Amino acid sequence: MDEIRDFSQRKHFPGTLNNEFDRILRKFDEIEKIPASLFSIILFLLATSVTYPNYGQTLILFAFFVGDWLLLYFLPKKKISFGPSKPPTLILALLRLPFVLFPFPIWVLFELIGTILVIYGFWIEPQKLTVTYQTLETDKCPEGFSLRVLHLGDLHLERITQREKQLNTYIQQLKPDLILFSGDFLNLSYNEDPVAVQQVREILKEWNAPLGVFAVTGSEAVDLEHIVPDLLAGLSVYWLKNETVIVEKDSVPIAITGLPCSHRPFLDEPVLQTLAQNIPNAFSILLYHSPDLAPNAARYPFDLMLSGHTHGGQVCLPIIGPVFTASLYGRQFQSGRYQIRDLVLYITRGIGLEGKAAPRVRFLCPPEIILWEIRGKSPRSLTSSKEEN
């Protein structure tokens, strides 16, 4: 994990337009344009392909397909999430097909379990915002010093839901000294939607902390350059753009460095190197959207790097973990806490969900916010975390 890889010859990068994942999502967007009648025929033919000539079983499987479609169709109606229904329905139908290879009626039991998982993954877990508690002890702060830092990331707002309301309730209850946001305000499907922009502003207006609220932009495809200035105008959120600010608590300085994320570590490290030259001898936090800069950042005097972008994969399988992380380092950077030489990296699972045709689903990967307690102590030691709903 300490090894710095060279990505300068790579053509496409996560979080940018026209990368492999982006192209797949945009192709799947076309599925949503299929008329409902034709889409129903497609689902019926899929059901027939594995149950022919038993039309009774065909109708049973087709009913499960339609059930998924209805569950996804009503998500926006219930203000849970606001993605298209047909692309994820087709994905779910394809995932259901292999289970029909089991004898009847055993495969029906598997399909019922599938429906339960769909309800949980699309309706329940995305709303289960959790608070993760982390502690970091440092000899750069005097013994007895304590700083509460709330790390937020990947809001990806489509429309305000119960999740965002819970987020602001947590902020009021946790009373952090400092709030840091690691990028991606809007959902990819709604990043130029005026209603979404206004509703993000409504959420951000409630973000307050004694030492301030600081943010960096996320992926260039999400936090559009011409949208973010208006989104943050007049708010108390300070936008860090290739700069370091110093805040103080009890006369103890804390350095916060933030820079925009190009998803190209070889381009962003020179900027980081310049900024690092002017960092005082104080506890130093780096705010950068993607974890992919962490091996590079570990060369410099940063103590804590707060990132997001991966969403923890959104869907994690038991034992296996996330299926996909959108990181240049693959599954090496997933979510949670990492130690890279003297640098502590934390990758948040994020608050919101991927956009476009991506399923608005979370499974074994609930949304999170992270409350850090930075403690002064010598020598430095690291302690474990705990998580609560």
Tell me the per-residue pLDDT of 152-183, one tens digit each, with 9 for 90 and over: 999 999 999 999 999 999 999 999 999 999 99
CATH topology of domain 129-380: Purple Acid Phosphatase; chain A, domain 2 (3.60.21)
Residue 369: strand pairing partners: 131
The answer to whether residue 261 scores a pLDDT higher than 60 is: yes
Is-contact 326 288, C-beta < 8 A? no
How do the domains of the chain map onto residue ranges? 20-125, 129-380
Tally the C-alpha atoms within 13 A of residue 275's C-alpha that lie toward its C-beta: 25
Q: State the first-to-last Cα distance of the chain, in angstroms, to the nearest integer.
A: 30
Q: What's residue 381's pLDDT?
A: 45
Q: Quickly list DSSP for 174-231.
A: H--SEEEE-S--B-GGGTT-HHHHHHHHHHHTT---TT-EEE----TTTS-TTTHHHH
Task: Give the confidence band of 379 by pLDDT, cuts at 50, 70, 90.
Answer: low
Its pTM stands at 0.94
Whether the CA torsion 70, 75, 78, 83 is positive or negative: it is negative
65 residue type, one letter: F
Is-contact 361 88, C-beta < 8 A? yes
Tell me the per-residue pLDDT of 5-41, one tens digit each, with 9 for 90 and over: 999 999 889 888 877 787 888 889 999 999 999 999 9
Ramachandran area for residue 171 (φ above 0: left; ψ -120 to 50: alpha; else beta): alpha
Q: What's the burial of 266, exposed, middle or buried (CB within 10 Å: 0-12/13-18/19+)?
A: middle
Distance CA 286, CA 182 (A): 10
325 residue type, one letter: T
Q: What's residue 380's pLDDT?
A: 42
Q: Quickly list DSSP for 318-331.
A: TTTEES----TTGG
Distance CA 239, CA 184 (A): 13
Q: What's residue 150's pLDDT?
A: 98
Q: What's the gap between Cα 179 and its chain centre?
A: 17
The answer to whether residue 382 scores a pLDDT higher than 50 is: no
Question: Rounded to the nearest 10 degrees, how much is the dihedral formed by the CA atoms of 352, 237, 145, 378?
Answer: 70
Which percentage of the chain shows pLDDT scores above 90?
90
